[in-house]
Structure 1
Amino acid sequence: MLSNGRPYLAIPGPSVMPERVLNAMHRAAPNIYTGELLDMTATILPDLRAVARTDHHVAIYIANGHGAWEAALSNVVAPGDTVLVLATGRFGHGWAEMAEGLGVSVQTHDFGQRDAFDLAKVEQTLAADKGGRIKAILAVFVDTSTGIKNDIKGLRDVMDATGHGALLMADCIASLGCDRFEMDAWGVDVTIAASQKGLMTPPGLGFVWFNDKAAAARAQMPRVSRYWDWAPRVNPDGYWQHFDGTAPTHHLFGLRAALDMIKEEGLENVWHRHAVLARAVWAACDVWGQGGPLELNVADPARRSHAVTSVMIGAPDGDRLRAWLEQVAGVTLGIGLGREPADAYFRIGHMGHVNAHMVLGVLASMDAGLKALGIAHGQGAVAAATQVIAEASGATTAPGDHSVDHHSG
């Protein structure tokens, strides 16, 4: 079969694990009481703050993203408190369900699955909340199910304009290390992420960054679960309190390697790489859609994530294409998560450890799959994607001239 060889996972998390990360984890267990593990953890914390662009606190949990949701909520809202959830996909609703499970009253604005927050509607809601009933706003920056990227800075501006004192909580699980995010500059009080996407480390670590306003809210809580309490994690009396028990040793070694890779490339360059590769994916999809049913879920490029692209193609062709790619080409695309009918959709993950040849390989394989399955599509999609890459590289070739002029892009 043509799929024999190394498979490629193009789902929106877990993302491709770099060999450097896997090699860092492939080692004997360390001493968890003294020595290199403790010294290394001390270097991880400031680098996690740098990736989120904050000077404030960060707590590490042995948990997935859902655990980070619960950790963040447990520290700042109590049963009976009210939160406002802004949903643009499955994961906004998932965070709302987590809050409800903690006894929190949830008010949800559902903006559908194809467009970003309507900030005018949010402003109306906050202006009407004269008594400050809403304690926190839960906003997913990029919803993995839809690929929608929301305006977090604009949301903070609306909160400031209305004088509302709620905490602004941002889910960056799908986007951290992929889409530009500025926690402090954008006025975010609590940020949530996990290890398995832009941070290029296997699933198992959840992160919560919080500022002094959020810390003050924690101090007013009547009680917080011992495990989720972030206070001892960021001000531990002993190393074990960073994790409320045994450290996630090998995940930490992998995370250290991943953070080194981000530092060496430079976070601005990481963001740029993701932006270019996303535009290549969109260019191919636009061409395919000119001659068939394929359509990008988000019409406005400014509202599309640079980490994941959600695509509509019609039932059952979403599943047909995914199955062909996995069985014949060795490429796995993401399912139509949270969509109905699910087999009308698929998602392309282009996050973390990805480069031009990886993304172009996915797109060429998709092009072959559309042809093999007889799914109507426009011609020239791969050429459109390669043009995006060529232009971004800063290389130009005059007609009839095969020399290359290199200049800064």
Structure 2
Amino acid sequence: MTTGRHFLQIPGPSPVPERVMRAMDMPVLDHRGPEFQRLGQEVLEGCKAVFQTRGPVVVYPSSGTGAWESAIVNTLNVGDKVLMVETGHFATLWKNMATKLGLEVEFISGDWRRGVNPEAIGARLAEDKELKIKAVAVVHNETSTGVTSRIAEIRRAIDGANHPALLLVDTISSLGSAEYKHEEWGVDVTVSCSQKGLMLPPGLGFTAISEKALAASRSNNMRRSYWDWEEMLKPNATGFFPYTPATTLLYGLKEAIAMLLEEGLSNVFDRHKRLAAATRSAVQAWGLEILCQEPLEYSPVLTAVVMPEGHDADAYRKVVLENFNMSLGAGLSKLAGKVFRIGHLGECNELTLMGALSGVEMGLTLADVPHQTGGAAAAMRALLDSAAR
């Protein structure tokens, strides 16, 4: 038996704010009627503001995995060559999907501690004189590692190589938490979902689409039905959907967008940066190692912490859960048992973070993990310093 609220400090799904939960506490409505039409128009327009685009954003009743598939089947053909980068577990899963769908994937290997190297992308595209590579597909914020890739630099590298490849970007764990500019950065398809920075339950997948991607979707011949953008965009023009939408989640999406815009996207991004910097101060004070090795690529969404040799991260997470009612993120695939992940995204604020970091530090002591004390105090100092500026 535990008391108090559960601390959900995984890097998504993130806690759902009370405002969003109340907004979803609505009766099911007629998804062909005028009340739903107003809701549909409002959320579809609001999504553009969050993605920072004037182009269409398609909303599916799906997970982010569904949005991955949507990006592929609407823009590419079986046998097309795609350049992808091994930045972590989720980049690998997207690569596996692309292979299953019949694409030829060139997968640049990585050590899971750094993001995409824009120079490597540019160099490879410059070599592609026959223009066989049809798309570059990368993960913005790799949820398994706490590494954020520099999308604007990747776009410049593609342009510098004078290559027509489409740019497809996964923002599943970064949208609404880390700075992202779909249109300004020249992204062709941005993939995301509801349960991370948008602070909703799982169940909605998103694709933001450029004019170039729309043109590709009209000429490609990969089979699709449920994921077909054209089938979505026609009824979306008047606020409707081609099949039954997730109406209750759309009420929540409307409220989540309102919360983000009320705070101001730049303020949202700054808040996440502050919380991430304070978390790293704690990790460094504990004498532990941050998995991400490039400071320019530190994630504002989560921090992955390397366990000392001989200590199991899952055993440590179990101690924290059983003693302090807090969930920390597990290490995934080849990082299993080697790292734990602290999520600091969504509705998280300074006091939430301090509670979480205190639990992490107490757990380190109870689990006999070698560390120095004072990490939570170091985070507090970092937060006070940022508040004083």
The answer on 1:45 being equivalent to 2:39 is no
What number of residue pairs does the alignment pair up? 388
Aligned to 1:262: 260
TM-score by length of 1: 0.92
Deviation at 1:240, TM superposition (A): 8.6
> Which residue number corresponds to residue 21 of structure 2?
22
Matches within 5 A, 1:360-399: 360-394=354-388
SS at match of 2:304: strand
How far has the Cα of 1:185 moved from its partner?
1.3
Which runs of no fewer than 5 residues in structure 1 stay unpaired? 395-408
SS in 2 for 1:334: strand
Other-structure match for 1:333: 328
CA contact (8 A) 2:31 2:240 kept: no
Match of 2:168 in 1: 169
Judged with a 3 Å threshold, the aligned counterparts in structure 2 of structure 1 residues 238 and 143 are, in CA distance, closer, same or farther, namely: closer
Partner of 1:400: none
SS in 2 for 1:131: coil
Alignment correspondent of 2:269: 271
1-side partners of 2:235 and 2:376: how far apart?
A: 53
1:323 to 318, 324, 335: 318
* Contact 1:145–1:338 (CA under 8 A) maintained in structure 2: no
| Residue 283 of structure 1: how far off its partner (Å) | 0.4
1:402: which partner in 2?
none
Match of 2:192 in 1: 193
Which of 343, 346, 369 aligns to 1:352? It is: 346
1:123, distance to aligned residue in structure 2 (A): 1.9
In the alignment, what sits opposite 2:5?
A: 6
CA distance in 2, matches of 1:234, 1:348: 38
Amino acid at match of 2:214: A
Q: Is the 8 A contact 1:83 1:135 kept in 2?
A: yes
Q: Which amino acid in the other structure matches residue 253 of structure 1?
A: Y
Q: Which runs of 4+ in 1 moved over 2 A?
A: 118-121, 237-242, 314-317
Q: Which amino acid aligns with 2:326?
A: V
Hey, what does 1:141 align to over in structure 2?
140
Give the aligned residue type for 2:57.
V
Residue 405 of structure 1 aligns with which residue?
A: none
8 Å CA contact 1:336–1:343 kept in 2: the answer is yes
Alignment map for 1:8-407 (pairs within 5 Å)? 8-236=7-235, 242=241, 244-289=242-287, 294-314=288-308, 315-340=310-335, 342-394=336-388
Cα distance in 2 for partners of 1:136, 1:297 equals 29
For each residue in 1:307-353, what CA deviation from the matched residue of structure 2 results, as whole angstroms up to 9, or x when unmatched? 0111111454311221111111011001111234x112111111111
The 3-state SS of whatever aligns with 2:105 is strand
Secondary structure of the equivalent of 1:306? Answer: coil
Tell me how far 1:241 sits from its aligned partner.
Answer: 5.9
More deviation in 371-380 or 126-135? 371-380
Secondary structure of the 1:186 match is coil
Helix, strand or coil: the match of 2:136?
A: strand
Residue 4 of structure 1: CA displacement?
2.4
Q: Secondary structure at the match of 1:193?
A: strand
Is contact 2:192-2:205 (8 Å) kept? yes
Per-residue CA shift, 1:20-65, capped at 9, x if unaligned? Answer: 1111112211121113221011011121111111111110111101
Residue 89 of structure 1 contacts residue 338 of structure 1 at CA under 8 Å; is this kept in 2? no
Cα RMSD (Å)? 1.5
Rounded to whole Å, the distance in 1 between the matches of 2:245 and 2:203 is 12
Asked if the contact 1:170–1:191 (Cα under 8 Å) also holds between the matched residues in 2, the reply is yes
